């Protein structure tokens, strides 16, 4: 018993050291999985990260049998399995034995390759408090059962991993927030200093030109005016990209102002979004900007609708038009990189991207982004 307890403490210590050094989730998962298998003597392992919308990803694996490595690990990246199903329906709350791994069974049935005698695996959810992040699975050849002590150790490690994932996410959010703040500060500095300096140069050149009769001097001063005006226009554009005018009054005001610049007529409904979190406001601005650009470029109409509302648990942005539209279904590829980029932004926020369009009947884009409690 003493040796067993010593081994458990040693394992937890080694894992904790790895986790404390980690700054990137995927690299951390790969390193800690390899270390866990080494110190426990288990052969194979894999980790799924699972989003709130049900999508999962094979985030890390070590020494998978050939049957699961088949076709660039396709058996591990597609389809469902018992452990993920139990994770979703709430039955999987602690470390458990899973009998007859579905992915292993399929690899055997389809003859994708040797499974190295692995038929069973233990699985344990990765969590920090009530927040869940995914699943840790471990297995060894011909091992059909994990003892309560082994499961308790795996559960302890999984909780450490979940806590580390939460820590890294919080650091990343703080970094993004700091980046936004720095961009806003830079935009203000550019507006207060460089922008005003360029304007002063332009006025000085104009005033000096009126004080001379020399044609060469007048021509040079005119050129200075033109250069200053060009630089001033570029600076305004840069400031707009860094911190769009009106965003300090909310993303709704910024989008309406941008639509006006594009020459669009907007029928709008905006409510409850004046105090959104900075990172969500920033992403909504970029998404809305791209949606309005698409209306301007492709819809062949100046009439658009924009709805931006906040509910208790989510914020929703809807941009629509009754323009030319295009034939689209949810399984088709996006016709532009802009639409693809919009969906990627929404996915990063664990949101839902919906696009409805048909030829001659216009296009409607609906963005739904979840809000954390208390924000």
Q: Name the region of 127 (left: φ>0; alpha: ψ -120 to 50; beta: rest).
A: beta
Identify whether the C-beta of residue 303 lies closer than 8 Å to the C-beta of residue 267: yes
- 284 and 218, same structural domain? no
Write down the pLDDT at residue 40.
87
Distance CA 14, CA 32 (A): 9
Distance CA 67, CA 261 (A): 57
In this predicted structure, the answer to whether residue 2 has a pLDDT above a threshold of 50 is no
- 350 and 258, same structural domain? yes
**Nearest 5°: CA angle at 36, between 34 and 41?**
100
Identify whether the C-beta of residue 112 lies closer than 8 Å to the C-beta of residue 104: no
- 59 and 193, same structural domain? no
- 116 and 199, same structural domain? no
pLDDT tens string 44-77: 999 999 987 788 999 999 999 999 999 999 999 9
In a domain, 252, yes or no: yes
Pairing of strands 265-271, 303-310: parallel
In this predicted structure, the answer to whether residue 247 has a pLDDT above a threshold of 90 is no
Pairing of strands 121-128, 96-98: antiparallel
- 14 and 161, same structural domain? yes
Domain residue limits at 337: 247-370
pLDDT tens string 168-187: 988 887 887 777 677 666 76
Q: Residue for token digits 């409510």?
A: 271
% of the chain exceeding 90 in pLDDT:
37
In this predicted structure, the answer to whether residue 158 has a pLDDT above a threshold of 70 is yes
In a domain, 288, yes or no: yes
Distance CA 60, CA 31 (A): 9
Beta bridge partners of 368: 316, 352
Residue 374 pLDDT class (50, 70, 90 cuts): very low
CA-nearest of 168, 238, 171, 227 to 199 is 227
Write down the pLDDT at residue 306.
95
- 126 and 11, same structural domain? yes
Lowest mean pLDDT among 40-49, 148-157, 158-167, 234-243: 234-243
Identify whether the C-beta of residue 294 lies closer than 8 Å to the C-beta of residue 320: no
This prediction has a pTM of 0.56
Token pair of 85, please? 């199903």
Write down the pLDDT at residue 1.
32
For the segment 23-33, the average pLDDT, to the nearest whole number, is 91
pLDDT tens string 270-324: 988 766 777 788 889 989 999 998 898 888 889 999 999 998 889 999 999 999 9
**Nearest 5°: CA angle at 106, between 102 and 108?**
120
For residue 123, what is the DSSP state? E
- Domain end: 217, 242, 267, which one? 242
- Domain end: 207, 226, 242, which one? 242
| Backbone CA torsion sign across 172, 178, 183, 186 | negative
Residue 240 pLDDT class (50, 70, 90 cuts): low
pLDDT tens string 101-133: 889 999 999 999 999 999 999 999 999 988 899
In a domain, 301, yes or no: yes
For residue 195, what is the DSSP state? I
- 191 and 122, same structural domain? no
- Domain end: 242, 257, 277, which one? 242
- 161 and 25, same structural domain? yes
In a domain, 251, yes or no: yes
In this predicted structure, the answer to whether residue 254 has a pLDDT above a threshold of 70 is yes
Q: For residue 113, what is the domain's CATH number?
A: 3.30.450.40
Distance CA 148, CA 239 (A): 60
- 342 and 256, same structural domain? yes
Token pair of 121, please? 């695996």
Distance CA 219, CA 363 (A): 51
Helix 337-348 to helix 278-298 angle, to the nearest 10 degrees?
A: 160
% of the chain exceeding 70 in pLDDT:
87
In this predicted structure, the answer to whether residue 341 has a pLDDT above a threshold of 60 is yes
Write down the pLDDT at residue 375.
45
Task: Provide CB contacts within 8 A for 28, sequence distance 6+.
Answer: 18, 19, 22, 161, 164, 165, 168
Lowest mean pLDDT among 91-100, 183-192, 311-320, 353-362: 183-192
Average pLDDT of the chain to the nearest whole number = 85
- 285 and 267, same structural domain? yes
| Backbone CA torsion sign across 219, 224, 230, 232 | negative
Write down the pLDDT at residue 144.
87
Higher pLDDT, 90 or 195: 90
Token pair of 339, please? 């639409």
Number of structural domains the chain divides into: 3
CA-nearest of 85, 89, 78, 96 to 158 is 96
Write down the pLDDT at residue 121.
93
Distance CA 329, CA 333 (A): 9
């Amino acid at each position: 018993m003493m040796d067993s307890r010593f081994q458990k403490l040693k394992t937890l210590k080694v894992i904790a050291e790895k986790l404390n050094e980690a700054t990137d989730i995927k690299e951390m998962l790969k390193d800690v999985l390899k270390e866990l298998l080494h110190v426990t003597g288990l052969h194979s392992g894999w980790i799924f990260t699972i989003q709130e919308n049900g999508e999962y990803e094979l985030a890390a694996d070590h020494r998978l049998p050939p049957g699961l490595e088949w076709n660039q690990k396709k058996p591990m990246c597609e389809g469902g399995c018992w452990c993920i199903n139990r994770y979703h329906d709430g039955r999987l709350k602690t470390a458990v034995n899973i009998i007859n791994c579905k992915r292993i069974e399929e690899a055997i049935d389809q003859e994708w390759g040797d499974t190295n005698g692995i038929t069973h695996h233990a699985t344990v959810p990765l969590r920090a408090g009530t927040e869940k992040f995914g699943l840790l699975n471990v297995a060894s050849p011909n091992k059909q059962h994990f003892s309560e002590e082994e499961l308790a150790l795996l559960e302890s490690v999984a909780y450490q991993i979940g806590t580390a994932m939460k820590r890294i996410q919080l650091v990343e959010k703080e970094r993004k927030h700091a980046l936004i703040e720095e961009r806003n500060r830079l935009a203000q500095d550019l507006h207060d200093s460089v922008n005003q300096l360029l304007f002063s140069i332009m006025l000085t050149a104009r005033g000096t030109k009126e004080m001379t009769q020399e044609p060469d001097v007048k021509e040079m001063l005119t050129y200075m005016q033109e250069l200053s005006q060009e630089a001033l226009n570029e600076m305004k554009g840069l400031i707009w990209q860094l911190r769009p005018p009106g965003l300090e009054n909310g993303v709704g005001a910024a989008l309406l102002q941008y639509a006006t610049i594009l020459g669009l007529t907007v029928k709008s409904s905006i409510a409850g979004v004046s105090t959104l979190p900075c990172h969500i406001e920033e992403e909504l601005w970029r998404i809305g900007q791209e949606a309005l650009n698409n209306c301007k470029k492709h819809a062949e109409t100046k009439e658009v609708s924009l709805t931006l509302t906040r509910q208790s648990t989510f914020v929703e942005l809807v941009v629509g038009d009754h323009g030319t539209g295009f034939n689209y279904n949810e399984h088709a590829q996006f016709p532009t990189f802009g639409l693809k980029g919009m969906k990627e932004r929404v996915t990063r926020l664990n949101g839902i991207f919906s696009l409805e369009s048909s030829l001659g009947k216009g296009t409607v884009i609906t963005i739904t982004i979840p809000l954390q409690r208390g924000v």
